């Protein structure tokens, strides 16, 4: 729709501004009296030539490798232009043969000048539009590619999260804990949230933060007094949009590797959301490590999602120092 409107404006610019200015360079005052038929034919020819170019779209034919169509069209247009140069002179124009030849030469030069002017202007416009169409096409392809990649990364993260949460519930069931029923209620709420957001990359912060609170509550149900959880959430603008199911990957790791049933430890989680930033920080003592020593896919997928959603607009720092694993993520939110 927007492209059609721009094309209409350009056509109006040519028809109402450029061509009338070009025609004023001609001896219109003489031709309209002495050779009205030729002047009318010339004006109609110029406008017809412009719209033939606009409809044919030579750059598009060239991209489609329809070279024969281009050659035939140019041959026909050149032939018509050449025929126009032989438009008969009015019978009442008599005089010196040299003067008549001078008038014919001037008329021929005028016709070919207008032909070249319209051809150049039309080709320039069509090349610009074709370039614009190519750019839009690449952007659409890239957007679809990014969308597919985001869906893949989320699909990899969610099963990983579900698997670990089911392990937590299984442990509660085996231990016969009286917290089991409450845990299943929270888990069902988490599942409803996850699948209600299916396909949404950005959601209101209040919904994501509420989901994180439920998840932390669910995890604390299986912990004893040796693991303390400090969750701090500050939301100064809850309607701002944030990535769905992103922070939970880091929070999940704090419980997986930073909790212990027999050693005192602490998990610290801090989230701040305002109009322009999302700040997320976690700290936990490293109580266990991956047995294979290979980094998990969760954090790597989060980096890829961030690269797609916030290119050059985020910083993510992760690492272990003195037995404490820290995560700091800051996103510059663009509303």
pLDDT at 265: 92
pLDDT band of residue 102 (cuts 50, 70, 90) is low
Three-class SS state of 209: helix
0.95 exceeded by the pTM? no
Task: Give, in order, the Cα–Cα distances in Å from 174 to each of 169, 177, 215.
Answer: 9, 8, 20
93 pLDDT more than 70 = no
Write the burial class of residue 205 (CB in 10 Å: 0-12 exposed, 13-18 middle, 19+ buried).
buried
pLDDT at 138: 75
Task: Give, in order, the Cα–Cα distances in Å from 290 to each of 74, 253, 256, 257, 259.
Answer: 71, 11, 10, 8, 14
Write the burial class of residue 283 (CB in 10 Å: 0-12 exposed, 13-18 middle, 19+ buried).
middle
Q: Report, as an integer, the average pLDDT of 228-248.
A: 86
Q: Report, as an integer, the average pLDDT of 300-321.
A: 87
Per residue in 154-197, pLDDT tens?
655 566 667 767 787 887 788 777 778 878 888 887 778 777 76
Q: What is the CA radius of gyration of the chain?
A: 36
Per residue in 116-141, pLDDT tens?
888 888 888 888 887 877 787 777 75
CA distance 328 to 231: 15
Sequence-distant (6+) residues with CB within 8 A of 275 are 236, 237, 240, 333, 335
Q: Report, as an integer, the average pLDDT of 64-88.
A: 86
Q: What are residue 326's DSSP bridge partners?
A: 283, 319
2 pLDDT more than 60 = no
| Number of residues in the chain | 335
| H helix and E strand count, the chain | 11, 7
The encoded tokens of residue 280 equal: 């997320």
For the chain, percent of residues with pLDDT exceeding 90? 13
Sheet of 324-332, strand order: 227-235, 265-273, 277-285, 324-332, 314-321
pLDDT at 150: 64
**Checking DSSP bridges between strand 241-243 and strand 277-285, what pairing results, if any?**
unpaired
pLDDT at 316: 93
Sequence-distant (6+) residues with CB within 8 A of 200 are 244
Identify the structural domains of the chain with CATH numbers, from first to last.
2-139 (no CATH), 177-332 (3.30.565.10)
319 pLDDT more than 80 = yes
pLDDT at 334: 67
């Amino acid at each position: 729709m927007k492209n059609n409107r721009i094309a209409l404006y350009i056509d109006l610019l040519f028809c109402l501004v450029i061509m009338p200015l070009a025609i004023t360079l001609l001896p219109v005052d003489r031709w309209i009296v002495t050779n009205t038929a030729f002047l009318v034919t010339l004006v109609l020819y110029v406008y017809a030539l412009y719209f033939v170019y606009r409809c044919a779209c030579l750059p598009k034919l060239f991209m489609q490798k329809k070279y024969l169509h281009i050659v035939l069209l140019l041959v026909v247009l050149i032939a018509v232009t050449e025929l126009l140069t032989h438009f008969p002179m009015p019978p009442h124009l008599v005089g010196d043969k040299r003067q008549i030849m001078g008038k014919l030469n001037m008329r021929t030069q005028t016709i070919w000048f207008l032909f070249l002017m319209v051809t150049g202007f039309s080709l320039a416009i069509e090349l610009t539009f074709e370039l614009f169409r190519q750019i839009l096409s690449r952007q659409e392809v890239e957007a679809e590619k990014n969308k597919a990649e985001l869906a893949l990364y989320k699909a990899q993260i969610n099963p990983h999260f579900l698997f670990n949460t089911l392990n937590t519930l299984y442990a509660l069931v085996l231990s016969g804990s009286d917290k089991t029923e409450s845990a299943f209620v929270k888990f069902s709420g988490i599942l409803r949230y996850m699948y209600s957001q299916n396909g949404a990359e950005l959601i209101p912060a209040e919904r994501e933060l509420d989901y994180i609170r439920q998840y932390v509550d669910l995890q604390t149900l299986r912990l004893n007094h040796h693991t303390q959880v400090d969750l701090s959430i500050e939301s100064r603008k809850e309607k701002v949009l944030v990535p769905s199911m992103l922070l939970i990957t880091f929070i999940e790791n704090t419980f997986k590797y930073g909790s212990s049933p027999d050693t005192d430890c602490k998990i610290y989680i801090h989230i701040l959301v305002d109009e322009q930033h999302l700040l997320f920080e976690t700290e936990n003592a490293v109580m266990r490590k991956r047995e294979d020593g290979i980094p998990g896919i969760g954090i790597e997928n989060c980096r890829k999602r961030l690269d797609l959603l916030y290119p050059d607009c985020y910083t993510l720092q992760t690492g272990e120092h003195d037995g404490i694993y820290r995560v700091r993520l800051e996103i510059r939110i663009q509303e």
